[in-house]
Amino acid sequence: MSPTDPATADGAEAPEVEAATKNLVFNAAERLFALNGFQNVSVRDITAEAGVNLASVNYHFGSKDALLFEIFRRRTVELSRDRAKMLHEAADRHGGNPPVREILTALFAPVLRWLSPGHERRVSLQFLIRARSEGTQEMRDVLRTDVSHLRRFSDALIAALPQLPPEEVYWRVHFALGMIHQNRFAELDRLNVLSEGITREDDIDGLLKRMVDFAEAGFLA
C-alpha cells in the first residue's frame, strides 16, 4: 500500500529533512503545473524535473490527480488563512466593522504579496489561478461549493455598505474577484505589450493601491 495519508510533506515551508522525495515531487509538480498548465505536464515531466523515480508520484500521492488536489488544497487553505487573518485584524482595528477600503485590502493583499517577484509562493498563486479554469472536477466542486471563506468578506462589505442592496454587493464582489484573477502571467504579458512596457508589474505596493482605489470607487458608486 502507499503512504498517501500522512501528508506530511510541505513544499519548501520546512527544510526537507523528512520524506525528501515527496517534497521534491510536490515542488516540481507545483512549478511545472503553474508554468505549463495541468494537462500539458506529464508524470514523467514531474519526476524528471524532481530527479526521482517515475513511480514516486503514485507511491507517495496515489495518483496524478490526487497530487494535483493535494497541492490545490494546501495552497487554498494557506491563502484563505492569510486573507482571514488580515480581515480579522482590520475588524479589530475598527470595532468589528472595518471600512470598505480595508476589507478590499484584506482580499487583495495576500494575493499580490504572493505574486511579487522572488516570492516563494509566486508559482503557487499561478497554480491556484489555473485551478479555477483547468482544475479537475473535484477542485472545481470545491471552488464552487465552498464559499464560506468568501462569505466573511461579503458579509463585512454588506455591513460596511448598509445603503447598498446585498444583491449589488455580491455582484461587486464578483467583479473584484475578476480583477484579481486577471493577474495571470499571460494577462500581465498582454498588458505589458499593450502599454508598451510602461506598466511595472513588479511594483506590488503600487499595484495594490491601484486595485484598491479602483475597486473601492466601484463599491462606493
Partner DNA sequence: AGCGTCAAGAAACGCGCGTTTGAAGCGGGC
Partner DNA sequence: GCCCGCTTCAAACGCGCGTTTCTTGACGCT
Choice from 7, 10, 21, 158 touching DNA (CB under 7 A): 21
44 contributes a contact to DNA by CB under 7 A: yes
Q: What are phi and psi of 97, to 5 degrees?
A: -130, 80
Binding segment for DNA (CB under 7 A), chosen from 17-25, 29-37, 98-106, 181-189, is: 17-25
Q: How many residues bind DNA (CB under 7 A)?
A: 22
Q: What angle do CA 32, 33, 39 make, to 5 degrees?
A: 120
Task: Report the partner that residue 63 touches, choosing among a second copy, DNA, none (CB closer than 5 to 8 A by kind).
Answer: DNA
Chain-centre distance for alpha carbon 162: 29
End-to-end CA gap in the chain: 58
Q: What is the amino acid identity at position 217?
A: A
The residues, ordered by sequence, that sit 6+ positions from 1 with a Cβ below 8 Å of its Cβ are none
187 contributes a contact to a second copy by CB under 8 A: yes
Task: Report the partner that residue 178 touches, choosing among a second copy, DNA, none (CB closer than 5 to 8 A by kind).
Answer: a second copy
Distance CA 155, CA 145 (A): 17
Choice from 12, 19, 143, 164 touching a second copy (CB under 8 A): 143
Q: What are phi and psi of 199, to 5 degrees?
A: -85, 125
User: What DSSP line would sit under 121-138, residue for residue?
Assistant: THHHHHHHHHHHHH--HH
Choice from 10, 12, 49, 58 touching DNA (CB under 7 A): 58
For residue 51, what is its C-alpha cell? 530527479
User: What is the contact mask toward a second copy in residues 144 to 163, using x (rule: CB under 8 A)?
Assistant: xx-x--xx--x---------
| Positions that interact with a second copy (CB under 8 A) | 37, 39, 130, 132-134, 140, 143-145, 147, 150-151, 154, 166-168, 170-175, 177-184, 186-187, 189-191, 193-195, 198-199, 207, 210-211, 213-221
* Residues lying near DNA in the complex (CB under 7 A): 3, 19-22, 41-45, 52-60, 63-65
